[in-house]
């Protein structure tokens, strides 16, 4: 008999939680010690930790209802199909969209952008056309467009950033020309923390008939994203950065546009009729989900959205803002330390460099204090080149982080400074 009183993929909605100390209890891993010290996990930009609700939903699927979807006549297959579809509907509702068919399950942000660059790009981008990106993109939102540009003979153009790390929007109108086919930009920078005004940017493109893709990988973890307010054509994100499992993410595509696109991979479950001469394809989202999908991942992502949804985001956003302010204050008092990205209202991402200390050494010393951060180029080499650096250290926060952890971070960075100064 099931140990869980709810069906697959349908989680109870506890009352809203704000206090990070209470939220932390939902994340078993935060009890861990590393090198004999309490874990201070500040690498949320790379991947977030998972609440028990998500872990339980996945375990529940494998212990009670593991089956393939859409193809079985037996009870388990019907239940798994319902749970998979329910996850899609829940995500659609949470993101302020009207049609669940507009949400395609993919492996993550990277796969979603590759899908659009292949399926939409091969249809609409031709020799002489332009693809507009920005200077603050993750490699995932650069390389697939380079592949497309090479295939089509198109050109990539780049919207620059200002010295404090905002997009230079005054330059946008001149870059949106009659040659521009798509504007693909990040909602939140994974290096600078800058939150871009996605609705305003999408409107500028839409007014000129230009398609938009928004990379939401670093936006969805920090509160609900409303797609009807943004007004983009495509929105993409990964589950693992917003409390969900890895290997699952979402491509949102505006209904008619998505329905007009050809599939990018062929196989089972995406076809209507197949003969050796030709095949016809099902409408979205099935058309873009060839083969057995990541069923447990989708159910886990549905659980992550259900968990995310019941948090008190207006107050948690303020809490995350306080974490950033406290981190900036504490780190800037350390001689020779520079922060990349100081735009007001930034997301809780703090990248920094220290004179005379390699970011990997900072990361290693912090690790010995139990503090997990990221050090490297953050998959944003063009941005780092623009900033005149090759790598940086990055502390990235989630709503379960605390001001005490900011203090531990700052003490560990001071220790690194003493060690190398
Ligand atoms: N876009 C941004 C802004 C990111 O921060 C990341 C990952 O760090 C990605 C895209 C790629 O995400 P994934 O590796 O989950 O596909």
75-309 — its CATH code? 3.40.640.10
Q: Is the pTM of this model over 0.85?
A: yes
In angstroms, what is the span from residue 317 Cα to ligand 1's centroid?
21
Is the distance from the beta carbon of residue 108 to the nearest atom of ligand 1 less than 6 Å?
A: yes
> So which residues are the catalytic ones?
379
Q: Locate the DSSP E strands across 99-154.
A: 103-106, 130-134
Q: What is the average pLDDT across 60-79? A: 94
Q: What does the pLDDT look like over 297-319, one tens digit per residue?
A: 999 999 999 999 999 999 999 99
Q: What is the mean pLDDT of residues 100-109?
A: 98
Alpha carbon nearest to ligand 1 atom 8, residue:
46
What pLDDT is recorded for position 23? 94
Index of the ligand 1 atom closest to the CA of residue 107: 16
Answer for the pair 362, 413: CB distance below 8 angstroms, yes or no. Answer: yes
Provide the 3-class DSSP secondary structure of residue 223. Answer: coil
Side-chain-side CA neighbours of residue 312 (13 Å): 11
pLDDT band at 72 (very low <50, low <70, confident <90, very high): confident
Q: How confident is the model at residue 4 (pLDDT cuts 50, 70, 90)?
A: very low
**Tens of pLDDT, residues 242-264:** 999 999 999 999 999 999 999 99
Report d(CA 90, CA 81) in Å as an integer.
Answer: 14
Please indicate whether residue 218, judged by its CB atom, sits closer than 6 Å to ligand 1.
yes
Reported as a pLDDT band with limits 50, 70 and 90, residue 21 is: confident
Q: Is the CB of 138 inside a 6 Å radius of any atom of ligand 1? A: yes
pLDDT higher than 60, residue 7:
no
Residue nearest to atom 12 of ligand 1 (CA): 109
Note the pLDDT of residue 421.
74
Atom of ligand 1 nearest to the CA of 111: 16
Q: How many CB atoms are closer than 10 A to CB 62?
A: 11
pLDDT in tens, 389-402: 999 999 999 999 99
pLDDT-derived band of residue 193, with 50, 70 and 90 as boundaries? very high
Question: Which strands sit side by side in the sheet containing 155-159, from one edge to the other?
Answer: 103-106, 249-253, 234-238, 211-215, 180-186, 130-134, 155-159
Per-residue model confidence (pLDDT) at position 252? 98
**Stretch 152-179: mean pLDDT, rounded?**
98
Mean of pLDDT values over 294-298: 98
Does 10 score more than 90 pLDDT? no
pLDDT value of position 8: 52
pLDDT of res. 2: 37
238 CB within 6 A, ligand 1: yes
Domain ranges for the chain, please list them. 40-44+313-420, 75-309
pLDDT at 93 over 60: yes
The reported pLDDT for the residue numbered 18 is 66
Tally the C-alpha atoms within 13 A of residue 53's C-alpha that lie toward its C-beta: 23
Average pLDDT, the chain: 95
Same fold, 40-44+313-420 and 75-309: no
Q: What residue has token string 């981190």?
A: 327
Residue 12, pLDDT above cutoff 90 = no
Topology, domain 40-44+313-420: 3.90.1150
């Amino acid at each position: 008999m099931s140990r869980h009183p709810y069906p697959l993929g349908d989680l109870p909605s506890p009352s809203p939680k704000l206090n990070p100390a209470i939220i932390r209890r939902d994340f078993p891993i935060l009890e861990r010690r590393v090198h004999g010290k309490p874990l201070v996990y500040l690498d949320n930009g790379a991947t977030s930790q998972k609440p028990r609700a998500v872990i339980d939903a996945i375990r529940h699927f494998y212990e009670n209802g593991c089956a393939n979807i859409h193809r079985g006549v037996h009870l388990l297959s019907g239940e798994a199909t319902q749970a998979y579809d329910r996850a899609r509907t829940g995500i659609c509702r949470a993101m302020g969209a009207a049609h669940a068919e507009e949400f395609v399950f993919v492996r993550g942000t990277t796969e979603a952008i590759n899908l659009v660059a292949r399926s939409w790009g091969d249809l609409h981008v031709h020799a002489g056309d332009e693809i507009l990106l920005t200077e603050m993109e993750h490699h995932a939102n650069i390389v697939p467009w380079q592949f497309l540009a090479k295939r089509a003979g198109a050109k990539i153009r780049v919207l620059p950033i200002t010295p404090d790390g905002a997009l230079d929007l005054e330059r946008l109108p001149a870059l949106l020309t009659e040659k521009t086919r798509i504007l693909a930009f990040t909602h939140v920078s994974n290096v600078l923390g800058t939150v871009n005004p996605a609705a305003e940017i999408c409107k500028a493109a839409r007014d000129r008939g230009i398609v938009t893709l928004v990379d939401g990988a670093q936006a969805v973890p920090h509160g609900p994203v409303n797609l009807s307010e943004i007004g983009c054509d495509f929105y993409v994100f990964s589950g693992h950065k917003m409390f969900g499992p890895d290997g699952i993410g979402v491509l949102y595509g505006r209904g008619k546009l998505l329905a007009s696109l050809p599939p990018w991979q062929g196989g089972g479950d995406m076809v209507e009729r197949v003969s050796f001469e030709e095949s016809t394809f099902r409408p979205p989202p099935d058309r873009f989900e060839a083969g057995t999908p990541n069923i447990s991942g989708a159910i886990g992502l549905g659980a992550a959205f259900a968990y995310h949804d019941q948090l008190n985001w207006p107050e948690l956003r303020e809490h995350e803002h306080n974490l950033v302010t406290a981190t900036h204050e504490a780190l800037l008092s350390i001689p020779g330390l520079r922060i990349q990205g100081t735009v007001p209202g930034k997301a809780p991402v703090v990248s920094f460099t220290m004179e005379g200390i390699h970011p990997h050494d900072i990361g290693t010393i912090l690790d010995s204090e139990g503090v997990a951060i990221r050090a490297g180029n953050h998959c944003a080499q063009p941005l780092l080149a623009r900033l005149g650096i090759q790598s940086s250290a990055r502390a990235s926060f989630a709503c379960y982080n605390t001001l005490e952890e900011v203090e531990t971070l700052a003490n560990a960075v001071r220790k690194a400074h003493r060690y190398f100064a």
